[in-house]
Amino acid sequence: MKKAQLVLVPSPGIGHLVSTIEFAKLLLDQDDSFLITVLVIKAPYALDIDTFNQSLTTVDARIKYITLPQVTPPDLDPFRSPENFISLSLELHKPHVKEAILNHVMSNKSVPIVGLVVDVFCTSMIDVANELGIPSYVYFTSSAGFLGLMLYLPTRLDQVGIEFKETDPDLIVPSFVNPVPARVMPSVLFNKDGGYICFENHGRRFREAKGIIVNTFTELESHAVSSFLGGDTPPVYTLGPLLNVNGQSLKGSNSNRQVKIMEWLDDQPEKSVVFLCFGSVGRFSEAQVKETALGLEQSGHRFLWSIRKPPPEGQFALPGDYENYEEVLPNGFMERTKNIGMICGWAPQIQVLAHKAIGGFVSHCGWNSILESLWYGVPIITWPMYAEQQLNAFQMVNDLGLAVEMTLDYSLFSEELVSADKIAKSVKYVMEEDSEVRNKVQEMSETSKKVVMEGGSSYAAFGDLINVMLS
């Protein structure tokens, strides 16, 4: 069989890396004529993902990994606009990407290179593809709804020319069913320090690609997907859900902590536990931790709660784990709830969601987490924190009816507390009601498994993408 080479350039965020590797694995499962090389970029900030990067090579021996040299990050304050800082940092890797492709991929002249697949933050690498005469594709790790907003940004900039304001009226975005309130827009779109222009530029560059690959499925976001038809949008390939559901966790998979968590869940009744987990960046102030504890206690339901410790003030880093949870929890909380609750640090999220004891998921609404919860039929209670999560929460609650609102516009840096009463009420609703949301989530769970099987929409989209690449 004739071979073809494909190069992937993910951005160095755990959610982006996991999703990109799943795409590579499933592509090889469908057509083993591809030789895939992943160019691994080290994070330009103090985020501990080096161990994760090292574990990538054990995930699938069919994939070749090349770690690029580190570069000196731009002389910018990362707190003023993290998204702009990350995008500019990644752009500095262009010479290394070009060199790696020339020396390690195109040097094999007997096997043609048929595409460079770049992450949403790596659109500057389209320049490298153009210089080398390689077709470029964008791999979009979030929802089709958010993709539609990013494609809309250049049009809005040409019409309005300024950042969003919190007082803006609800916006009509073609990829959303309902008008989108300013309060659920990603904070980057309000940023005057390069964030808004940075994202608008990414959206503009998407249109230069030969195709856009999205980790979603048509049956989930039918309205958004149909909004891309016609116009100057490149072909959009919905290949999701791309999830590591059959493999082991890429972080801490053999830890004693994971064993203890799963053993504790084994002892709980079916669908009796609410799981609280907020992604690789999510954390709360001590005041919010205490309020959350009171809400859980007030709800009376069993819980598994992943609590992370904020990094030191002024440090651009991932949260860590507490050595002693009692220092942030209300007095006597752990003793009073010892028979119904478990507190942990990092948690193996996908394995937990797969467990029969889980009946609800209080989530930050990262897109990977949403797809995982839908796959396992676990209804989400929305608690978004950063990036596009508020937008995801809005879509899940208002457009799709697949989640229960606790809050739609909470921010990681908000001083406003989500009250114990609101937490207790939301948890009770999800855990006690045979609600329409739970039924819809179960139906979507069944659909999500069908679309990736032969004859399903995502399986067919994979075939279309392969045909385009190999042609």
Give the residue among 116, 74, 115, 113 at the shortest CA–CA distance from 91: 74
- Using CA atoms, how far apart are residues 257 and 52, in angstroms rounded to an integer? 17
Average confidence (pLDDT) over 55-77: 84
- Using CA atoms, how far apart are residues 463 and 460, in angstroms rounded to an integer? 5
Asked whether the domain spanning 256-447 has the same topology as the one spanning 4-240+452-470, the reply is: yes
Name the residue ranges covered by the structural domains of the chain.
Answer: 4-240+452-470, 256-447
Give the residue among 151, 163, 256 at the shortest CA–CA distance from 212: 151
CA 116 remoteness from chain centre = 21
Q: What is the CATH number of domain 256-447?
A: 3.40.50.2000
Tens-digit pLDDT profile for residues 74-111: 999 888 999 999 999 999 999 999 999 999 999 999 99
Give the residue among 469, 470, 445 at the shortest CA–CA distance from 213: 469
Instruction: Mention every residue, 6+ apart, whose C-beta is less than 8 A from residue 255.
Output: none
Instruction: Mention every residue, 6+ apart, whose C-beta is less than 8 A from residue 233.
Output: 151, 207, 212
Give the residue among 282, 120, 286, 270 at the shortest CA–CA distance from 198: 120
Look up residue 425 and give its two tokens. Answer: 């009420």
Q: How far is CA 106 from CA 7, 109, 112, 135, in A?
A: 10, 6, 7, 14
Mean pLDDT of the chain: 92
- Using CA atoms, how far apart are residues 374 and 444, in angstroms rounded to an integer? 6
Tens-digit pLDDT profile for residues 436-447: 899 999 999 999
Asked whether the bond before 241 is cis by omega within 30 degrees of 0, the reply is yes
Neighbours of 98 (CB within 10 A): 16
pLDDT tier, 254 (very low <50, low <70, confident <90, very high otherwise): very low
Average confidence (pLDDT) over 195-203: 96
- Residue 119 designated active-site: yes
The pLDDT of residue 133 is above 60? yes
pTM: 0.94
DSSP reduced 3-state for 456: coil
What is the model's pLDDT at position 48? 47
The DSSP 8-state label assigned to residue 179 in this structure reads P
Average confidence (pLDDT) over 45-59: 55
The pLDDT of residue 387 is above 60? yes
Q: Which of 93, 96, 119, 202 is catalytic?
A: 119
Side chain identity, residue 261: I
- Using CA atoms, how far apart are residues 346 and 281, in angstroms rounded to an integer? 11
Q: Characterise 252 by phi-psi region: left (phi > 0), alpha (psi -120 to 50), beta (else).
A: left
Average confidence (pLDDT) over 178-204: 96
CA-only gyration radius of the chain, Å: 22
Average confidence (pLDDT) over 274-302: 94
Neighbours of 177 (CB within 10 A): 16
| CB-based burial, 365-383: b 16+ in 10 Å, e otherwise | bbbbbbbbbbbbbbbbbbb
The DSSP 8-state label assigned to residue 400 in this structure reads S
- Residue 464 designated active-site: no
Please say whether the beta carbons of 431 and 359 come within 8 A. yes
Cα four-point dihedral sign 191, 197, 203, 209: negative
Look up residue 131 and give its two tokens. Answer: 């210089």
Q: For the residues of 215-259, what is the DSSP string, one character each?
A: SS-TTTSHHHHHTTSSTTPPPEEE-------SS--SSSTT-HHHH
The pLDDT of residue 432 is above 50? yes
Pairing state between β 302-306 and 341-344: parallel
| H helix runs in 31-143, sequence order | 50-56, 82-91, 94-104, 126-132
- Using CA atoms, how far apart are residues 328 and 307, in angstroms rounded to an integer? 10
- Using CA atoms, how far apart are residues 138 and 122, in angstroms rounded to an integer? 9
| CATH architecture of structural domain 4-240+452-470 | 3-Layer(aba) Sandwich (3.40)
Tens-digit pLDDT profile for residues 327-338: 899 999 999 999
Average confidence (pLDDT) over 344-371: 96
Give the residue among 60, 32, 27, 133 at the shortest CA–CA distance from 461: 27
- Using CA atoms, how far apart are residues 308 and 350, in angstroms rounded to an integer? 18
